[in-house]
């Protein structure tokens, strides 16, 4: 029962994605952001400190795409963070409830609460935000959505849920690997810099990785080419649609 939260989050995302279009814009003013200024960023930890090198962009225009992506992470992260917190609380509470009937009653109450807390906001998410959310759920809970559905329902149910996700170019099997995946590296870079600036509340990942080593190996290079191509396609579709209407 503890994994019901995953189903409510992911499936509501999938249902809403069928009707949501990617309507995004890139920020115009990029001079005010501290990470484009000379010097290193300093993250202060309770047990020490960690230096994050200044991100390296291929061009000034790439900063706009990074800021666009950062906005997506900022929107998705609180839901993944809250999912982890709710699951931990639910698990702790269920361990103290001996009665099977009371456990079911409490679980139903949590289900209703989750629906009201997540559904309306998640329906407003874009596909990019949904993909980031699925990855962040893995980061914050240590399990993919697919594996949790499989444990709760069955492998057959998980297969069909993932098939539905694939229609919207999403995968419930998505894992979080900032050490190897460029998008995951960007997500973690955004998170770590947001933690240091107190723009997001730090919550430890349940996955094992050392971002301080990863960012050094990557030389803090920011690769946003995939998003540049995505926006190029969007602009092309808009032009073609405008031509047809004229």
Residue partners of 183: CB distance under 8 A and separation at least 6: 132, 135, 226
Q: Whole-angstrom Cα distance, residue 133 to residue 126? A: 10
Q: What is the pLDDT of residue 120?
A: 61
| Greatest C-alpha distance within the chain | 69
Q: In b/e form, how buried is each residue of 62-74, taking b as 16+ CB within 10 angstroms?
A: bbbbbbbbbbbbb
- CA-based angle 50:53:59, to the nearest 5? 155
- Record the pTM: 0.76
Burial 129-158 (b: 16+ CB within 10 A, else e): bbbbbbbbbbbbbebbbbbbbbeeeeeeeb
Query: Residue 59's pLDDT is what?
Result: 95
Spell 94-106 as b/e; 16+ CB within 10 A means b. eeeeeeeeebeeb
Block means of pLDDT (10 residues each) for the chain, 246 residues, are: 49 46 67 54 52 91 96 93 78 79 73 59 80 90 70 49 54 90 98 94 93 95 96 90 79
On whether the CB atoms of residues 81 and 205 are closer than 8 A, the answer is no
């Amino acid at each position: 029962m503890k994994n019901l939260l995953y189903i409510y989050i992911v499936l509501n995302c999938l249902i809403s994605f069928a009707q949501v279009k990617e309507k995004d814009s890139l920020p115009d003013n990029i001079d005010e952001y501290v990470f484009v200024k000379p010097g290193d960023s300093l993250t202060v930890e309770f047990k020490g400190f960690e230096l994050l090198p200044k991100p390296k962009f291929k061009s000034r225009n790439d900063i706009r795409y990074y800021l666009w992506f950062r906005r997506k992470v900022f929107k998705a992260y609180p839901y993944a963070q809250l999912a982890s917190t709710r699951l931990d609380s639910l698990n702790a509470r269920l361990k103290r409830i001996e009665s099977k009937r009371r456990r079911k009653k409490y679980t139903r109450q949590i289900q209703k609460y989750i629906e009201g807390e997540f559904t309306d906001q998640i329906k407003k998410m874009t596909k990019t935000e949904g993909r980031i959310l699925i990855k962040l759920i893995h980061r914050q809970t240590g399990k993919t959505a697919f594996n949790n559905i499989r444990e709760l329902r069955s492998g057959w149910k998980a297969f069909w849920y993932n098939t539905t996700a694939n229609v919207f170019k999403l995968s419930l099997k998505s894992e979080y690997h900032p050490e190897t995946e460029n998008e995951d590296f960007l997500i973690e870079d955004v998170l770590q810099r947001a933690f240091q600036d107190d723009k997001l509340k730090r919550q430890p990942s349940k996955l094992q990785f050392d971002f301080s080593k990863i960012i050094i190996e990557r030389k803090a290079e920011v690769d946003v080419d995939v998003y540049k191509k995505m926006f190029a396609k969007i602009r092309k579709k808009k032009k073609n649609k405008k031509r047809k209407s004229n």
